[in-house]
Amino acid sequence: MVDGWTGKRLRIDLSRGTTSVEEIGESYRKKWLGGRGFNSELLYREVGPDVDPLGPENLLIFGVGPLTGTFAPSSGRTTVTARSPLGGGFGDSNMGGHWGPELKFAGYDQLVISGKASKPVYLWIDDDHIEIRDASQIWGKLVLEADAMIKEELGSQEIHTALIGPAGENTVRYACIMSDVYRAAARSGMGAVMGSKNLKAIAVRGTNPVNIARPEEFYQISASIRERLRQDLMAQMLYDQGTWLLTMPANYELGWFCWHNFQKGNHPDAKKLSGEAHRDNFLSHREGCFACPISCGRFSKIKEGKYAGEITGGPEYETLTAVGPRIGLLDMDKVVHNNKLVNELGLDSCSCGGAIAWAMECWEKGLLTKEDTGGLVLEWGDQELITRLIEMIAHREGFGDLLAEGSSRAAEIMDRGRDYSISVKGHDMSQDDPRGLGFAFGIGFVTGRRGGDHLQGLPCLELTGAFYPGLVEKILGSKEAEAPLSPVKKPEMERYQEDLKAVGDSLTQCTFTHSWSFAVQPEDMALLLSAATGLEFSAKELFEIGSRIVHLERAYWNRLLVGRLEDKSPKRFTQEPMPDGPNKGTVFPEAELIPRYYEVRGWDKKTGFPLPEVLKGLGLEDVAAELEPYRAEYQKKIEETEAEATNPA
């Protein structure tokens, strides 16, 4: 009997229609922890540089960890991993809800899907009963309807589904996977990978327990952490207003409210999208992911106007800003409606907003005309146009087909407007501007494992850290690091938070418990893990595991010949000083901070590859050896690029 984990990996080959179950041994579990760690390891080992992200050889991997499906607070998260069709490199996405715990109760730590079905199918995992079922009736359906049809067909409401909408079926490069109807594994195109395999949905039901090595101890630790979360101001605020609470400080105090594709960091009317305005006028009720006492999830109802009567899960801050101010909207009913639309169609709101914002800015600058858009006029904030574009993207119709490629590829295809694709490594930025949010965030945007995104480290030490007296100073030895726009200790801060987040994503435990709220400390995570599994872990060992995971993900990119040259912020953040607001004049000091981050990480400043001794120190000797030829090749690439830059032909 295994405690904490199930110790089982379920593999399903859709090409052959076969399934198998493998043991995940103890030494492997100790080395990679679970969830994101298991997934990243498998992706590195089995999905090499030659694999087409949308081809049958790509794997679609779902992983949960030793704490998933337990009493540990906020332990219901799932990581989905594949080579990304958006950025072309490492891809993963993390979702809440109740699907992951159900996979665990069915008896599996990891689900690995390979191959491609010859026709649309869905999976039915009912404990050890595994079935590949015909999905021809469900194909083409919106998320809400598909979920209802599957539950009807299987004759039970006590089922949890992860599924794609039309966007995934049409391999929109940033299609997401929706679970429990309203929870998204949104980023880096995991839904497109699922669609490329002709896989509409994965329905799961499980009846097995998660065994706990020391149940009484585990109970007491969980109980005391829960009590701390109950008293925690940040957790209370997340319950009260959800992530909407960010609108007011982001706009009026810090100046990173994403307006018109990051052209500005504030808008006088941003309060129309405040957390209070949502809570008082649009909040129907609050929702919690599995075992979560914070319950930041929202459920909205539109009471008036064109969309009166609509109900929907969400939105949260990134979505409300992506399909809102990033494309010129400040009306809450429109934002809530657009959130419903992208969720139902199965689109990542951030990249969808990013693609539309790119097109709108190109239009504004005269780089796109009616000839390019099929007659569409791309004015900021035109709600009718926006809803039409979202539909066109999901179905790859007309101009939507171009935007379905993502802003970065669209700019390449059109050979214009590259600077208005606010993305890193082809992956659109979430609505977070390092010129106000903070410089540790900025480092994560540039170097992150899936490209531009706030969830590389979610370094909230520089966002909410100051609410915890002495915390930042204790961790980093500097109180000054609390200030978002101070460069002091920011590489160290980002490293700390990245490694910790990799641990949380692997256990699995929601980042908001240990970064945003800091009620859960690394030592608590080690205690929980030790009591659950019966193996002893210290906080120090957890950080080492987190660092190992981050480095393997970095090596995944390096093996694709991506390194220092591609660690590039969008020019907007480094060359356009913030035009006004409290942080007027700020740029992200990339040239100063990225080399310092490499140094802190032990990465070669020239290539951005981790140094071999660093990899070896993390138990990645084989990876260090494998990277050597790629390092040499990449050095050549740098020399050629630099020669070209100094002697343009």
Partner 1 sequence: MVILVIATSIKTLLVDPSRCTGCRTCEMACSLYHEGKCSPVLSRMRIIKYEALGKSYPAICSQCSKPQCLSACDKGAIKQNEKTGAMNIDEALCTGCRSCLTVCPQIGFHPQKKVAFKCDLCGGDPQCARFCTTGAITFSGVDEFLMTRRRAIADRAVLAV
Structure-token pair, residue 100 = 């992951």
Q: Using the rule CB under 8 A, which residue among 40, 70, 241, 583 binds partner 1?
A: 70
388 binds partner 1 (CB under 8 A): no
Stretch 12-41 residues interacting with partner 1 (CB under 8 A): none
598 binds partner 1 (CB under 8 A): no
Q: Which is nearer to partner 1, 218 or 603 (CB)?
A: 218
In b/e form, how buried is each residue of 98-115, taking b as 16+ CB within 10 angstroms?
Answer: bbbbbbbbbbbbbbbbbb
Please, what is the minimum distance in Å from the beta carbon of residue 2 to partner 1?
Answer: 13
211 binds partner 1 (CB under 8 A): yes
Please, what is the minimum distance in Å from the beta carbon of residue 454 to partner 1?
Answer: 24
- Determine if the peptide bond prior to 315 is cis (ω within 30°): yes
106 binds partner 1 (CB under 8 A): no
Please, what is the minimum distance in Å from the beta carbon of residue 311 to partner 1?
Answer: 7
Of the listed pieces 30-38, 66-74, 115-123, 368-376, which binds partner 1 according to CB under 8 A? 66-74
Q: Using the rule CB under 8 A, which residue among 8, 36, 98, 337 binds partner 1?
A: 98
- DSSP annotation string for 87-111: TSSEEEEEE-SSHHHHHHHHT-SEE
115 torsion bin: left (phi>0), alpha (psi -120 to 50), beta (else): left
Stretch 235-264 residues interacting with partner 1 (CB under 8 A): 239
Q: Using the rule CB under 8 A, which residue among 65, 166, 255, 313 binds partner 1?
A: 313
Nearest to 38 by CA among 109, 101, 106, 91: 109
279 binds partner 1 (CB under 8 A): no
Q: Which is nearer to partner 1, 226 or 416 (CB)?
A: 226
In what order do the strands lie in the sheet containing 311-313?
Answer: 283-287, 297-301, 311-313
Of the listed pieces 294-302, 399-407, 415-423, 617-625, which binds partner 1 according to CB under 8 A? 294-302
Of the listed pieces 222-230, 350-358, 535-543, 608-616, which binds partner 1 according to CB under 8 A? 222-230
Please, what is the minimum distance in Å from the beta carbon of residue 319 to partner 1?
Answer: 15
176 torsion bin: left (phi>0), alpha (psi -120 to 50), beta (else): beta
**CB proximity list for 136: less than 8 A, separation 6 or greater:** 119, 120
Please, what is the minimum distance in Å from the beta carbon of residue 295 to partner 1?
Answer: 4
CB of 18 closer than 8 Å to CB of 130: no
Q: Which is nearer to partner 1, 235 or 402 (CB)?
A: 235
Output DSSP code: residue 233: H
600 binds partner 1 (CB under 8 A): no
Cα separation of 423 and 445, whole Å? Answer: 9
- Number of residues this chain uses to bind partner 1 (CB under 8 A): 42
* Greatest distance between any 2 Cα atoms in the chain: 71
Please, what is the minimum distance in Å from the beta carbon of residue 64 to partner 1?
Answer: 13
Q: Which is nearer to partner 1, 210 or 345 (CB)?
A: 210
CB of 43 closer than 8 Å to CB of 61: yes
Q: Using the rule CB under 8 A, which residue among 186, 291, 327, 355 binds partner 1?
A: 291
Overall size of the chain counted in residues = 649
Q: Which is nearer to partner 1, 316 or 494 (CB)?
A: 316
Nearest to 265 by CA among 143, 104, 129, 433: 433
The secondary element (H helix, E strand) that includes residue 23 is strand 18-23
- DSSP annotation string for 258-293: -BTTTTBS--TTGGGG-HHHHHHHTEEEEE--TT-S
Please, what is the minimum distance in Å from the beta carbon of residue 58 to partner 1?
Answer: 29
Phi, psi (deg, nearest 5) at residue 391: -60, -45
Q: Using the rule CB under 8 A, which residue among 219, 369, 580, 605 binds partner 1?
A: 219
Q: Using the rule CB under 8 A, which residue among 226, 279, 596, 637 binds partner 1?
A: 226
Q: How far from chain centre, in Å, is Cα 513?
A: 17
CB of 53 closer than 8 Å to CB of 83: yes
Cα separation of 354 and 406, whole Å? Answer: 8
Please, what is the minimum distance in Å from the beta carbon of residue 143 to partner 1?
Answer: 10
Q: Using the rule CB under 8 A, which residue among 286, 596, 606, 616 binds partner 1?
A: 286
Stretch 419-478 residues interacting with partner 1 (CB under 8 A): none
What does the H/E/C string look like for 249-264? HHHHHHCCCCECCCCE
Q: Using the rule CB under 8 A, which residue among 19, 281, 295, 635 binds partner 1?
A: 295
Of the listed pieces 190-198, 207-215, 415-423, 602-610, which binds partner 1 according to CB under 8 A? 207-215
Site string for partner 1, 156-195 (x = CB under 8 A): -x----------------------xxx-------------
Cα separation of 571 and 581, whole Å? Answer: 20
Q: Using the rule CB under 8 A, which residue among 51, 128, 208, 412 binds partner 1?
A: 208
374 binds partner 1 (CB under 8 A): no
Cα separation of 496 and 480, whole Å? Answer: 16
141 binds partner 1 (CB under 8 A): no
| Neighbour count for residue 519 (Cβ, 10 Å) | 24
Q: Which is nearer to partner 1, 7 or 73 (CB)?
A: 73
Q: Using the rule CB under 8 A, which residue among 293, 426, 563, 608 binds partner 1?
A: 293
CB of 362 closer than 8 Å to CB of 416: yes
71 binds partner 1 (CB under 8 A): yes
Site for partner 1, rule CB under 8 A: 69-71, 73, 98, 105, 144, 147-148, 157, 180-182, 207-212, 215-216, 218-219, 223, 226, 230, 239, 284-293, 295, 297, 299, 311, 313
